[in-house]
Amino acid sequence: MLTRDDLQQVLAAITVTAPVRSDEVTPSTNATALQMAEAGEPEWTLVAAGHQTEGRGRLGRTWADVPGSALLFSFVLRPDLPPARTGLLSLLAGATMAQAIRATTGRRVNCTWPNDLYLHGAKVGGILLESEVANGEVRYVVVGVGVNLEPPPDQPVAGGIGPAGLRELLEAFFTRFAKVYTAADIAFPQRVHNAWLPLSGTIGQMVRAETVDGREVTGRAVGIDDFGSLLLSTDTGEARVSFGEVEHLGSS
């Protein structure tokens, strides 16, 4: 389990000092980080836990873990980004965690749009972004990350990345994430493209999804735009998917 000292040392690696919290068991690191963000804690505030009892994923799903055999953390950002571009942070978190896993374990994890991590066809991790917007501006974004070292029981599509040093993995993530994350920089979308696209398990695949105007479409995933939306090439032209479910149909 990651200790407070571990978390402080991870932030020190990116020359940041911010509040940290380490819990052996917690309902949800995202829920804790959201409370801290709402209370005014600064950017990079970091929460970690050894086990979550109410872990959450996108679209109301749950996230299960084996106690002591997962990397579970959430952190606060206060980006100078338009609300429509906060989805880029989910792609960046996925890409930099995939990079960190490869760097520390040698295992080649891929990202599926918008927030999942896969190894050998099994889901081993995910990203959950939650934000607060007021008067058209982003007050804060909480980025939650979960990576299973061991697959949780009774989860047939779940997997694990195998043995890994939690602090080493977390530090590898933050050093990569912080290097790209400069929200006021107009080149930020392009830097996210450059990080995510080489690791994508979605680009080039045939997928079924719902577009921003509510249509269900099938097409080949060909890229992402400057807002983090998935771009599809369909029989009737290009379609843009910015939320909801994306079903992978294969590469044929």
Amino acid identity at 216 = E
Contact between residue 232 and residue 223 where contact means Cβ atoms under 8 Å apart = no
216, 195: one domain: no
Q: Which domain holds residue 38?
A: 4-199
CATH code (residue 188)? 3.30.930.10
Indicate if 182 and 120 belong to the same structural domain. yes
Please give the backbone phi and psi of residue 242, each rounded to the nearest 5 degrees, phi first: -115, -10
Looking at the structure, tell me whether residues 134 and 231 fall in a common domain.
no
Instruction: State whether 184 and 212 are in the same domain.
Output: no
- Going 57 to 62 to 68 to 74, the CA torsion angle's sign is positive
User: Are 132 and 187 in the same domain?
Assistant: yes
Residues 105 and 218 in one domain: no
Q: For residue 207, give the amino acid letter.
A: V
SS3 string of 66-84? CCCCEEEEEEEECCCCCHH
CATH code (residue 240): 2.30.30.100
Q: Which of 177, 199, 221 is the last residue of a domain?
A: 199
Mark whether 111 and 49 lie in a shared domain.
Answer: yes
**Residues 6+ positions from 132 with CB-CB distance below 8 Å:** 37, 38, 138, 139, 140
Residues 170 and 72 in one domain: yes
Beta strands (DSSP E) in the chain are 20-23, 46-49, 70-77, 110-112, 116-119, 122-134, 137-148, 206-210, 216-224, 230-234, 237-241, 246-250
Same domain, 103 and 160: yes
Give the Cα-Cα-Cα angle 39, 43, 46 (nearest 5 degrees).
80
Quote the CA–CA distance of 38 and 219 in Å, as a whole number.
40
- Res 251: pLDDT: 58
Average pLDDT per 10 consecutive residues for the chain, totaling 252 residues: 97 97 96 97 98 71 82 96 94 97 97 93 94 95 96 82 96 97 82 96 91 81 94 90 78 54
Nearby residues of 3 by Cβ (< 8 Å), 6 or more positions away: 22
Q: How far is CA 63 from CA 118, 123, 245, in A?
A: 15, 11, 17
User: Are 168 and 184 found together in one domain?
Assistant: yes
Domain count, the chain: 2
Domain end residue (candidates: 156, 178, 199): 199
| pLDDT computed for residue 40 by the predictor | 97
The DSSP 8-state label assigned to residue 150 in this structure reads: S
The verdict on 155 and 73 lying in the same domain is: yes
Rounded Cα–Cα distance for residues 223 and 252 (Å):
17
Q: With DSSP H G I counted as helix, E B as strand and the rest as coil, what are the percentages for the chain, rounded to 5? A: 30, 35, 40
Domain boundary among 199, 224, 239: 199
- Contact in structure between 232 and 222 (CB atoms under 8 Å): yes
Residue 212 pLDDT: 66
pTM higher than 0.75, yes or no? Answer: yes
Same-domain pairing of 225 and 182: no
